[in-house]
């Protein structure tokens, strides 16, 4: 089937990506075990980041609950994308009617965006 | 079904069952959440084998994208997150409930006589779904526009509920 063949390429890409990422970890490990790669550790080499800022504190912090608002909005706009996706695929056949339809849809959602803006919900205090 | 998709099915099946088991059995809740994301992603692969490509895209968008973000945020918002990843203390009850649910679903699947359509499924499905949803004559135009009002209500609800009140 055509569809399965097309997605077969995606599966192939995924497999190659996984093998590539895994081999980047495994090959140096094997080479260093075999003694091919010299092992001369020094403090700079073994640090987590060779350049950039050292992390301060621990990474397990309680997130500010305000992030949750953005997560909720993200879910809503994600659902909007679910409608946009088939519309975009079929855009040419839907002609002007489809365009007007989607503009009304986005306009209604834009009201919510304007409401959030006016209420200052997008401001970080 | 070709050999390729059969192979893909078994690979995905192992991945789904394995990651779903990891979600229940792992002590580390954060890792369990990540395995749940892997499980969702593998289910999207199953949808593709069933030639439901639109469903697969929606699965990746909503579950792998949005629901995963919500779950991980929910974990990181708990007070316990300060002391490392919260641990799952309900492994055995959850495993029992999960197995019971599996038993119910398997019983229903075995018990139902599944009618098979004579026509092959349309592939790719996305264009046909768009036709059904947005078409001027036979589409669901009004329900589609009402869905935007529903989303608007959800958005305003989120703003009202989550926003800090200035007076307090």
- Who contacts B71 (Cβ-Cβ below 8 Å, separation ≥6)? B33, B36
Whether residue B23 has pLDDT greater than 60 = yes
**Minimal Cα–Cα distance from A31 to chain B, Å?**
30
What residues 75-134 of chain B have any CB closer than 8 A to a CB of chain A? 76-79, 81-85, 123-124, 126-127, 129-131, 133-134
pLDDT digits (tens, 9 = 90+) for A33-75: 888 888 788 887 888 777 777 778 777 877 777 788 888 888 8
CATH of domain B1-83: 1.20.120.1200
pLDDT above 90 (res A94): no
Q: Give pLDDT tens digits for B78-99.
A: 877 777 777 878 888 989 999 9
Top-confidence range, A116-120, B24-28, B135-139: B24-28
CA nearest B59 in A: which residue? A82
Cα–Cα distance measured from residue B49 to residue B6, given in angstroms and rounded to the nearest whole number: 9
Within 133-162 of B, beta carbons closer than 8 Å to A belong to 133-136, 141, 144-145, 147-149, 151-152, 154-156, 158-159, 162
Per-residue model confidence (pLDDT) at position B168: 44
In this prediction, residue B162 carries a pLDDT of: 75
Residue B139 confidence (pLDDT): 76
- B43 contacts: CB under 8 Å, gap ≥ 6: B12, B16, B59, B63
Domain chopping of chain B, boundaries? 1-83, 126-168
Domain boundaries, chain A: 1-60, 63-125
Is a pLDDT exceeding 80 seen at residue B35? Answer: yes
Residue of B nearest to A10 (CA): B45
**Cα–Cα distance between B24 and B16 in angstroms, integer?**
13
| A63-125 maps to CATH 3.90.1150.10 | no
Q: Name the token pair of A49.
A: 């980041």
Residue B40's pLDDT band, with cuts at 50, 70 and 90, is: very high
Residue B36: the pLDDT is 94
The helix/strand/coil state of A110 is helix
pLDDT tier at B150 (50, 70, 90 boundaries)? Answer: very high
ipTM score for this prediction:
0.78
Torsion of the alpha carbons at B103, B109, B112 and B115, rounded to the nearest 10:
180
Cα three-residue angle A92-A98-A104, rounded to 5 degrees: 145
Q: What is the pLDDT of residue A41?
A: 83
């Amino acid at each position: 089937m055509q569809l399965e063949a097309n997605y077969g390429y995606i599966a192939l890409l995924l497999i190659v990506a996984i093998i590539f990422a895994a081999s980047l970890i495994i090959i140096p490990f094997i080479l260093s075990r075999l003694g091919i790669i010299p092992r001369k550790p020094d403090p700079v080499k073994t640090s987590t980041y060779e350049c950039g800022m050292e992390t301060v504190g621990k990474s397990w912090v309680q997130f500010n609950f305000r992030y949750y608002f953005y997560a909720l909005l993200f879910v809503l706009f994600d659902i909007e994308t679910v409608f946009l996706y088939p519309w975009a695929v079929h855009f040419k056949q839907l002609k002007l009617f489809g365009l007007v339809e989607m503009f009304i849809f986005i306009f209604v959602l834009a009201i919510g965006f304007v409401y959030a803006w006016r209420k200052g919900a997008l401001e970080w205090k | 079904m070709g050999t390729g998709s059969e192979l893909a099915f078994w690979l995905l099946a192992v991945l789904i069952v394995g990651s779903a088991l990891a979600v229940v059995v792992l002590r580390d809740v954060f890792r369990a959440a990540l395995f749940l994301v892997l499980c969702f992603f593998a289910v999207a692969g199953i949808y593709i084998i069933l030639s439901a490509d639109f469903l697969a895209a929606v699965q990746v968008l909503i579950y792998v994208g949005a629901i995963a973000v919500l779950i991980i945020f929910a974990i990181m918002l708990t007070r316990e997150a300060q002391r490392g990843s919260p641990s799952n203390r309900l492994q055995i009850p959850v495993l029992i409930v999960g197995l019971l649910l599996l038993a119910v679903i398997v019983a229903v699947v075995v018990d139902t006589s599944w009618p098979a359509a004579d026509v092959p499924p349309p592939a790719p499905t996305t264009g046909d779904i768009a036709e059904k949803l947005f078409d001027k004559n036979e589409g669901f135009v009004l329900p589609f526009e009402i869905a935007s009002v529903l989303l608007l209500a959800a958005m305003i609800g989120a703003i009202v509920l989550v926003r800090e009140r200035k007076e307090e």
